[in-house]
Structure 1
Amino acid sequence: MVQSNTFPVSRRHVLQASAIGAAAVVVTEGTLPANAAQAATAASATAGPTALGASPTDLGPGATAPVRPFRLRDVTLGDGLLQEKRDRMKNYLRQFDERRFLVLFNNQAGRPNPPGVPVPGGWEDGGLLSGHWAGHFMTALAQSYADHGEPIFKSKLDWMVDELAACQAAITARMGDGGGGEDPEEPPIDRVPGRFGTGLRLNGPSRAQYGTLPQEAISQLTDFTIATWVNLASTQSWSRLFDFGQNTTINMFLTPRAGVAGNVPRFAITVSGSGGEQRIDGTAALPTNQWVHLAVTLTQNTGTLYVNGQRAGRNSNMTLSPADLGNPGNRWIGRSQYGDPYLDATVDEFHIFDRALTEQEVRSLLDSASGSTGGGSIAWYRFEEEDGSTIRDASPNGRDGGIVATQSGGSALWIPTHPGYLGAIPEDAVLRLGPPRWAVYGSNAATNTWAPWYTQHKIMRGLLDAYYHTDNQTALDMVVKMASWAHLALTVGDKNHPAYTGPITRDNLNYMWDLYIAGETGGANEVFPEIYALTGDAKHLTTAKFFDNRESLFDACVENRDILVTTPQTNPGRRRPDRLHANSHVPQFVGYLRVYEHSGDPEYFQAAKNFFGMVVPHRMYGNGGTGGNYPGSNNNIELFQNRGNIANSIAQGGAETCTTYNLIKLARNLFFHEHNPAYMDYYERGLLNQILGSRADNTNVNNPQVTYFQPLTPGATRSYGNLGTCCGGTGVENHTKYQETIYFKSADGRTLWVNLYAASTLTWAEKGFTITQETNYPRADHTTLTVNGSGPLDIKLRVPGWVQKGFFVTINGATQNVTPKPGSYLTLSRTWTPGDTIEIRMPFSIRIERAPDRPDTQSIFWGPVLMQILGNPGVGNYRELSLFRHLKRDGDYSHSAITHASTTAAGDLLFTTHGFTLRPYYIGDTQAASSYFRRVEPTIVFGSIDTGVPNHKRNDSLPNYDIPVSGVPSPGTDGPTFLDLVWDQAPFANHGQFVSTVTETAEAFVRAGTFTEAEKDLIVSYAAQSNKELEPASTWDVEVQARAQCTGANAYLSVNARNADKVPLTIELITPYGSRTVPGVAPGKAAYQAFNTRSASVSAGTAIVKITGMVDGTPVTAQIEAPYDATSC
């Protein structure tokens, strides 16, 4: 065994680790054993930590569970949507210069940097979150190497590990210089007389160079006002009053003097550099040495610049807003994204609002600090501090900023407190989170902190992945040293600080983690149990438990008490906000499962399971995301919404991608222990919608092109980029590990779980099996598994919970007589022989999901895929759709309510309704689209028969929120409509069954006092008369076949549709490679076309054949899907 370095023993009791192992469990179809948690606990108590060896053992999620993952290298992706997204990200990883990540680490280590190599940018700019992207990048490189063994990924990764090892050694070597851990001296930055009270003097005689604001001060604003006083001390051009952005390409700024004719003030916003700026220019140069008030407002497409309360410029063609900047890493007062001079001026009363002030409100700011506005609703910086580098936020939101001071001279390198530290920020920025300083989140690099353990986790995770996937022993040695440092940091603590009073206590730890953002750990607790298992050193398991958030949340989750959002009166924590930050807490529970897997302590499993149930489905949007604002909340879209709040929390910029990254990890890890198919249903939803949709469908070698937020409001657009942000980092991981959940195995090797349908090949060397899956899912609804290997094996096929039209299985062409329940697994127990094939078809259907708190707010799905309605209905408006009049007795929306329109060149199906186009959510571009619509069904209709009776709602007391929502009565009187309840029972076997359902539902409404007896009788009478109206369209007798074949080196897709009916038909053949309509196909004749794919290969897919004929003088259209297999020429 390779031993870790030994450091001083902490005063904490060393916990004895239980041995961990695995036992097989039997899972019945569609059900969960009542004793699953107990069985999993027992399974986790029979084996010990694994010694280090020449061949790395992956001790990641599920390594000790009854169901376990395969290694990434055991599964390769085939052609399809997942591969397309993955390849774009791998191309970025190949090209991006990894040396950029080392610049900030070298700065902390005192090592030289190669000339001309810039820092990555965004949050990787030397600020308090610097270093996390190096960890993400290492994980992405390791995963990419595991995918196909491409040498470039390993060579880049090996170089990073070696360089980081040198940094770690250099930092620890400085311990011999004495000292360490001193509290940095606050720079003497005095305030000066301002317009009201005191102001901040930038440059000139002041040491204050520029101000920095927290990300929440600007990110995701649409309508806004920024207003401030400025007293210019010089006539320099192009200096910035403020400049918020990512770089010189993506930014928005206000300069008091543009270097153009007249030196007028200018506001500009761009996402394509200076050539794409949308500008508002003033009319005259601003004076120097006197106070001037400037304000910029934006509402919808109109931006206005005010000077001293008077309109000085207007642009009515503004299409950009701060939300289009993504998540700007640089948020500066007095500094430019370019190399322009720093602002030489005094600034006072800097307001940021989330709306456009009226002209009268802007003028009121001339008379007093807040005028008639009450102060900035997002942030308000008054500069009333006596001195120091902190800018206090006078709004209730606590968004303090910081001041960057000029340096008086070179400073000596800091001295570490404990050995083994590695980071791109000083060790002090981590230690100050705890006693005696209790640093809080903010922009002051000298005194604040920003999720320091989050950054430590990402670096450690990257090193562990380098070890697991590339057998890099140096990475393992480094991460063990980091873990030992962490143990000291969380036990001995900040021992060299003058105010140090002794070791860190459990109560101290609770106080640390019960803190917004600064206490965000990023799931740090998930790496230490693995390090314990790798080394046998029990202190690392102890360290993992140090991260327990036991101030309030851990115990509440064990007891299944939902306190993710509280009122001020019920808030149980000393420092926690009323609304918890979603991505701060989801990864904690991923870590709790790791503690459970390596300790067997069941309360960690119970906490994770119950927490997941609080989020899914009660806070889950259609795309799988969570988090957003709602009326009366505090303008922070990264926080959880109150339980059950979907319709009233659909935020302009909610659903942070990072959170879904962690939620699907949590669902995956829970499934290893409790094989509940609902976990996989959620995993698929999150993966195929928010995660796939988070990657732009373009190639970019300078930027990962992923989303931070994914807005769900009507007509919202997505912004792609995010180099240096948290979601950019998890983004490079997301798209390089798609294969990790397609297949699982039982611990005893007797069972293979097929969880996802994706083109892929599994090589199960230990069993001698290779499984090849050919499919174009989710663009198609069928897949073929080819088994190569001999012997008995149970293969469990996931039957998705959304299946409505059956789940059909054949083995070697023989239909299996099975009727599995949606939301279950179907077991095929068989002794397999090489070449056996399993064909699966699960016909997709259009289905509607209603928001639980407002049922008329709905989303549309095609199988597992959320379908967005293209276009922008206007600010605050929803598309309104009426669909019930299109339904037939089978309840199938796809027949006429929402119909297939066309297929993109990539094979994505497009639908249409009410003249609007619907497309899959996973398509990654910036088109405006709506994920939700409003259902408008004013009267009870049966086809074209309108009863005239209002389509009343059943009073389900909706919404019924646990936390008040401003302006929304709760409990309310909302609920599903009469027609909702009737059609929820579809399909109807015959018209009598339909009329019976209408009758029963109407009688229930009468009993509730919603309908009168007369209205009920009228409804039932019309329902009885609607037989012809509701009769499903005839199924035309047409024989359809689609086949991919080769002519020379070129692949063709041929589609043949023979009319076996008795009447002429119009037949339309639709494929990804073209379409053809043949009118008047006589009985016995066929429509045929061989479509040239202009390629040497064809992926498996589905051709669509639409058949139209006349019934009683009315055209009736039916649709048949014809699957075809892949072929290569």
Structure 2
Amino acid sequence: MSDEVQFNRRQLLQASALTAAAAGGAAVGSAAGAGPVAASPAAVAVPNISDISDIGPGATAPVRPFPLTDVRLGNGLFQEKRDRMKAFLRQYDERRFLVMFNNQAGRPNPAGVAVPGGWEDGGLLSGHWTGHYLSALAQAYADQGEAAYKTKLDWMVNELAACQAAITARMSSGPGGGDDEPEPEIGRVAGKSGNALRLNGGSKAQYVTLPQETINQLTDFTMATWINLGSAQSWSRLFDFGQNTTVNMFLTPRAGVTGNTPRFAITTGGSGREQQINGNAALPVGQWVHLAVTLAGAVGTLYVNGEVAGTNTAMTLNPSNLGNPGNRWLGRSQYGDAFLDATLDEFHIFDRALSAAEIVALSSGTGSGTIAAYKFDEEGGTTLEDSSPNGRDAGVVAATSSGAATWVPVYPGYLGALPEDTVLRLGPPRFAVYGGNLDTNTWAPWYTQHKIMRGLLDAYYHTGNTQARDVVVKMADWAYLALTVGDPRAGAPLTRDNLNYMWDLYIGGEFGGANEVFPEIYALTGDAKHLSTAKAFDNRESLFGASVDNRDILVVTPQNRPGRRRPERLHANTHVPQFIGYMRVFEHTGDASYFAAAKNFFGMVVPHRMFAHGGTGGNYPGSNNNTELFQNRDNIANAIAQGGAETCTTYNLIKLARNLFLHEHDPAYMDYYERGLVNMITGSRADTTSVNDPQVTYFQPLTPGANRSYGNTGTCCGGTGMENHTKYQETIYFKSADGSALWVNLFLPSTLTWAGKGFTITQETSFPRSDSTKLTVGGDGPLDIKLRVPGWVRRGYQVSINGVPQNIAATPGSYVTLSRTWTSGDTIDIRMPFSIRIERAIDRPDTQSIFWGPVLLQILGNPGSGSYRSLSLYRFLKRDGDYSAAAITPGSPNAAGDPFFTTGGFTLRPYYISDTQATSSYFRRVEPTVVFGSVDSGVPNRKRNDGLPNYDVPVNGIVSPGTDGPTFLDLLWDQAPFATHEAFVAAVRQTAAPLYTDTERDTIVAAANQARSELDPPHTFAVEVSARAQCIAANAYVSVTARNADGVPLTIELITPYGSRTVTGVAPGKSAYQSFNSRRAAIPAGTATVKVTGTVNGVTTTAQFEAPFDASTC
């Protein structure tokens, strides 16, 4: 971009200085917690707050979203998740976010206020969580207008404005961008082998910080090092990885207990719930000792000098349970323990447990860590080189005296929790790389800038805070200079080639969706330079052009890497948000190449890299050890061997799907949005009332028997998690740009106020706990209402207006349009009966997942050793192919109304239930022979392997195309339902032809005919069911009636979220009735379930009916 922009460097710098001089008189302000501080206003023309719908996503699209303030969320699952997050936002001390900003601005902080922690702790990503919190506060306020959230937000914006003014004011003290600060003198000492690192005890080296990938991918592991203690300290840490004192994993050389033995411990519940491995003797001081700890499944072992010093055979926790630990330290404790006084040498991390013999060999210098290996053989400096092939350099943190920042900014308008140089050093001449060294490395500095700017824009959009708008416009002015003029040390402006080189840097070049905010700021100001800034983020060297051309290069071989710094596997959450930004550039420039890039990129991920819950990423043996990376195209089953998916990536993927839909209206985008929202997003928030941290996931593992962990203060997923649960209403309704149509995309309880058209729409539903919804129209006049027909619909889609069924052609994966002149009080009832359906992995169809409508069902329990549950289901099917009739049967819902199912002795429940139980999202289908009912043909259920994908990049140890293709029974039952037995037999004969000999085919056909009576669908009972909510005294009741309109006696079970009742021997023409007391003054809309069991012609059959009821407030 910038090599095409004509400007004079001297003129820009002069303009920068003039701006700084103008801002120099702005009040610097007082300590955080003091009264409001005036910030100088930005001299820009901005629209009124009422015009914001013309600025955000979809602003120029034919279909557009409503502002969050126009939609209120009703009671139900989504409201429950939202309220838990709002409780955290309300209690969190917002002053903690300003500590590091004040440090950079030279402003004092109130005593006793700690930084948030995690990645928001002074490390190289500090500041990003502040932006997430601003967005979450703004969204929380927009939903219900509660002043507490706006009060917090307004205070934060005011303080950030004062920090920005104070930093810019320092420009008057002299030119910025002088020589680098001298790197602390951190030397090396003689080690066990070569050099070593001395921590404390006279050394300026205080502790070491490791990159996140050294720990967040591990399950089984080995960590080993040589250590020479300088003193007999208790509880100081050799290593400590975690989020805080509640969630951590550490090894202390001397536990402060009797014997002072070394101790390894891991916990997700504080010190009282530690799982420990204790040594058998105290370590000597002043001698080299080799320490190692290994974990293999449930067995943890502590080694001292190659000998077993302690074991624990009942370990249930491993590093994956720590979430994504923001603190990854050698020599520092999560508690207030003393820094380690010791010398370290040869610190290795492996992604498996070494044997005792391998530990001995490692101590003698044989072997090197597969995750990271630090030999400390540098001559000096704060960078610790990783000698493994992974390049995960660590950084030494020097002991310093704290004080006000004195650095001088290069350009006016900078705002951050770190010095401006941490951003500028990413570009020329230094091209800083990712790592843990605060003085020389970088870690996604433009990602942090994006999050702060996004938070400020959201504050303006959702709460009308104009000061937030002024601050973000100044930040955008600074960004333009930073990405055009650049670092003065370079002596020349940034070129397109420089920018390409920057953005290809793994993690360090990650910029989030920074390119999404600048088009919006262009729309706010009319200043075209902000569009130039947005285009500066184009990833032109290695991805943009390929995406425009629809060439999938998300994973490449070493020989085919398209960029100089381009990794072979792209980091998923680094790149998804870039395409959100490209959509924003398209919307404000009309350049169709940006739309093409975004559309094609999305198609490379969904469905080709999508797991059942909507996430992407994963891991597999022998290929990589980072679950945050994209996998080979169509690699699904083989990518879940060790990992899962990063929640952040789904946060961004559904944003991209939403924005694409606004322009192209493809219902498949909404099907994906719903999948991600109903499963992975709702499933990311723990069902607890804890407010100690956000209680959200980082990874959502898919390994059989895995469990989710929650927390994530200060991490990226902790930040997007705060946002996820405060904006559930943003996509429920859209409007056509000309106001002629309303799009109903999602079935969430809510109320839309469309003031411009004089309409309100109230939606009452307990979806996804039930399969119906009711829309009530407020207002009069003509309007097209477009109702989404989800792609997962299998049993029809019924629509009634004012109780009258409508004759509509509802195709799954489409929208139906109701065109009429509406009258206030009109109602639209929609029923889309859920059904059990099976989804197969693209690359290995025997690896399958179970859905109930849109809801992924997980199998409870841990099968052990990473093995899959095995299920055989076809023998239960009737000609209708309905799994829920016998193969996977409904059980009783829990108190909240969540459905449960059973199959093969296992219990299944919705993915969105969020606790720490072991669950499996996938199972292995085992159908060895062709079986119909109880008739086993004895013929093998042969596989058809043609059509399986051939991985674009080979996977070590995996044959591609594979040999686990769809079986004969898969292909046969895919054609269900069958209207008659003759139609079924014809399908059997035709499907068998290419797979079997004539003799085998005839045997299979004979078995199908023999099983005729077993294959006939069950008798359909005639039962009339109804349910209604009513008030009796101060409580809401749900009354359920079921009338037996059949000719045989029935056992009828009435089931509601508030209780159940079974009535036996209900004669034809008679009814079962019960009124259930909710013991609440208000209940949401919901669904009652009626199960009926009867015997016809000697066959006992159970059928299920559902009856919706409205919300009620007494």
**Common topology (TM > 0.5):** yes
SS in 2 for 1:903: coil
1:388 counterpart = 2:381: yes
Deviation at 1:1079, TM superposition (A): 2.0
1:233 to 215, 223, 230: 230
1:644 to 634, 651, 654: 634
Show the counterpart of 1:1065. 1050
Show the counterpart of 1:33. none
Note the residue ranges of structure 2 that are not aligned, 5 or more in a row. Answer: 1-7, 15-43
After superposition, the CA RMSD in angstroms is: 1.6
Show the counterpart of 1:529. 519
Show the counterpart of 1:1020. 1005
2:154 to 158, 173, 180: 158
**Superposition pairs for residues 846-857 of structure 1, below 5 Å?**
846-857=836-847
Asked if 2 retains the 8 angstrom alpha-carbon contact of 1:56 and 1:467, the reply is: no
Deviation at 1:244, TM superposition (A): 0.9
Deviation at 1:993, TM superposition (A): 1.0
- Per-residue Cα deviation, 1:657-701 (whole angstroms, up to 9, x for no partner): 000000000000000100000000000000000000001111222
Letter in 2 for 1:1103: A
Show the counterpart of 2:1107. 1122
Q: Distance in 2 between matches of 1:86 and 1:453?
A: 29
1:673 counterpart = 2:663: yes
Asked if 1 retains the 8 angstrom alpha-carbon contact of 2:105 and 2:405, the reply is: no
SS in 2 for 1:839: strand
Q: Distance in 2 between matches of 1:958 and 1:902?
A: 39
Asked if 2 retains the 8 angstrom alpha-carbon contact of 1:651 and 1:711, the reply is: no
SS in 2 for 1:736: coil
Q: How has the CA–CA distance of structure 1 residues 767 and 399 changed in structure 2, closer, same or farther, with 3 Å as cutoff?
A: same
Letter in 2 for 1:981: L
SS in 2 for 1:902: coil
Show the counterpart of 1:751. 741
Q: Distance in 1 between matches of 2:586 and 2:1024?
A: 56
- Per-residue Cα deviation, 1:493-535 (whole angstroms, up to 9, x for no partner): 111x3xx231100100000001110100010000000111110
**Superposition pairs for residues 122-271 of structure 1, below 5 Å?**
122-181=118-177, 182-271=179-268
Letter in 1 for 2:406: L
SS in 2 for 1:293: strand
**Superposition pairs for residues 219-618 of structure 1, below 5 Å?**
219-368=216-365, 371=366, 374-407=367-400, 413-495=406-488, 497=489, 500-618=490-608
Q: Distance in 1 between matches of 2:103 and 2:546?
A: 43
Q: Distance in 1 between matches of 2:698 and 2:797?
A: 36
**Superposition pairs for residues 973-1122 of structure 1, below 5 Å?**
973-1005=963-995, 1011-1122=996-1107
Deviation at 1:410, TM superposition (A): 5.9
Q: Distance in 2 between matches of 1:653 and 1:821?
A: 36
Most deviating of 461-470 and 1032-1041: 1032-1041
Q: Distance in 1 between matches of 2:758 and 2:517?
A: 32
Q: Distance in 2 between matches of 1:1014 and 1:653?
A: 45
Deviation at 1:1059, TM superposition (A): 2.0
Show the counterpart of 1:57. 52
Most deviating of 259-268 and 416-425: 259-268
Show the counterpart of 2:102. 106
Q: Distance in 1 between matches of 2:348 and 2:992?
A: 56
- Per-residue Cα deviation, 1:1006-1065 (whole angstroms, up to 9, x for no partner): xxxxx2110011111221232211111101222222222221112222222222222222
Q: How has the CA–CA distance of structure 1 residues 8 and 588 changed in structure 2, closer, same or farther, with 3 Å as cutoff?
A: farther
1:803 counterpart = 2:793: yes
Q: How has the CA–CA distance of structure 1 residues 129 and 1075 changed in structure 2, closer, same or farther, with 3 Å as cutoff?
A: same
Q: Distance in 2 between matches of 1:1021 and 1:385?
A: 76
Letter in 2 for 1:1107: V
- Per-residue Cα deviation, 1:377-426 (whole angstroms, up to 9, x for no partner): 11111111111000111111111100011227868611101111000010
Q: Distance in 2 between matches of 1:408 and 1:913?
A: 63
1:888 counterpart = 2:878: yes
Deviation at 1:51, TM superposition (A): 4.4
Letter in 1 for 2:253: P
Q: Distance in 2 between matches of 1:594 and 1:856?
A: 41
Q: How has the CA–CA distance of structure 1 residues 53 and 1105 changed in structure 2, closer, same or farther, with 3 Å as cutoff?
A: closer
Letter in 2 for 1:160: M
Show the counterpart of 2:27. none
Deviation at 1:1098, TM superposition (A): 2.8
Q: How has the CA–CA distance of structure 1 residues 671 and 903 changed in structure 2, closer, same or farther, with 3 Å as cutoff?
A: same
Letter in 1 for 2:331: G
Q: Distance in 2 between matches of 1:590 and 1:1031?
A: 51
Most deviating of 358-367 and 804-813: 358-367
Q: Distance in 2 between matches of 1:235 and 1:483?
A: 53
Q: Distance in 2 between matches of 1:816 and 1:1089?
A: 31
Letter in 2 for 1:543: T
- Per-residue Cα deviation, 1:811-852 (whole angstroms, up to 9, x for no partner): 111111112110000011101111111110000000000000
Q: How has the CA–CA distance of structure 1 residues 411 and 66 changed in structure 2, closer, same or farther, with 3 Å as cutoff?
A: closer
Q: How has the CA–CA distance of structure 1 residues 1026 and 628 changed in structure 2, closer, same or farther, with 3 Å as cutoff?
A: same
Deviation at 1:176, TM superposition (A): 1.5
Q: How has the CA–CA distance of structure 1 residues 630 and 1071 changed in structure 2, closer, same or farther, with 3 Å as cutoff?
A: same
- Per-residue Cα deviation, 1:711-750 (whole angstroms, up to 9, x for no partner): 0111111111111000010011111111000000000000
Q: Distance in 2 between matches of 1:7 and 1:158?
A: 37
Deviation at 1:57, TM superposition (A): 2.0
Letter in 1 for 2:848: Q
Q: Distance in 1 between matches of 2:1022 and 2:822?
A: 37
Deviation at 1:8, TM superposition (A): 8.0
Q: How has the CA–CA distance of structure 1 residues 408 and 147 changed in structure 2, closer, same or farther, with 3 Å as cutoff?
A: closer
Q: Distance in 2 between matches of 1:476 and 1:410?
A: 31
Q: Distance in 2 between matches of 1:764 and 1:969?
A: 56
SS in 2 for 1:365: helix
- Per-residue Cα deviation, 1:855-881 (whole angstroms, up to 9, x for no partner): 000000000000000110102200000
Show the counterpart of 1:27. none
Note the residue ranges of structure 1 that are not aligned, 5 or more in a row. Answer: 1-5, 13-48, 1006-1010
Q: How has the CA–CA distance of structure 1 residues 1013 and 54 changed in structure 2, closer, same or farther, with 3 Å as cutoff?
A: closer
**Superposition pairs for residues 778-793 of structure 1, below 5 Å?**
778-793=768-783
Aligned residue pairs: how many? 1076
% identical aligned pairs: 74
Q: Distance in 1 between matches of 2:944 and 2:486?
A: 59
1:658 counterpart = 2:651: no
Q: Distance in 2 between matches of 1:1072 and 1:147?
A: 27
TM-score by length of 2: 0.95
SS in 2 for 1:569: helix
**Superposition pairs for residues 845-924 of structure 1, below 5 Å?**
845-924=835-914
Deviation at 1:474, TM superposition (A): 1.0
Show the counterpart of 2:17. none
Most deviating of 773-782 and 410-419: 410-419
Q: Distance in 1 between matches of 2:626 and 2:699?
A: 12
Show the counterpart of 1:628. 618
1:97 counterpart = 2:98: no
Show the counterpart of 1:721. 711
Deviation at 1:959, TM superposition (A): 4.5
Asked if 2 retains the 8 angstrom alpha-carbon contact of 1:89 and 1:736, the reply is: yes
1:696 counterpart = 2:686: yes
- Per-residue Cα deviation, 1:288-314 (whole angstroms, up to 9, x for no partner): 221110110111111111111100101
Letter in 1 for 2:1030: Q
Deviation at 1:957, TM superposition (A): 5.2
Letter in 1 for 2:137: L
Show the counterpart of 1:35. none
2:65 to 63, 69, 81: 69
Show the counterpart of 1:829. 819
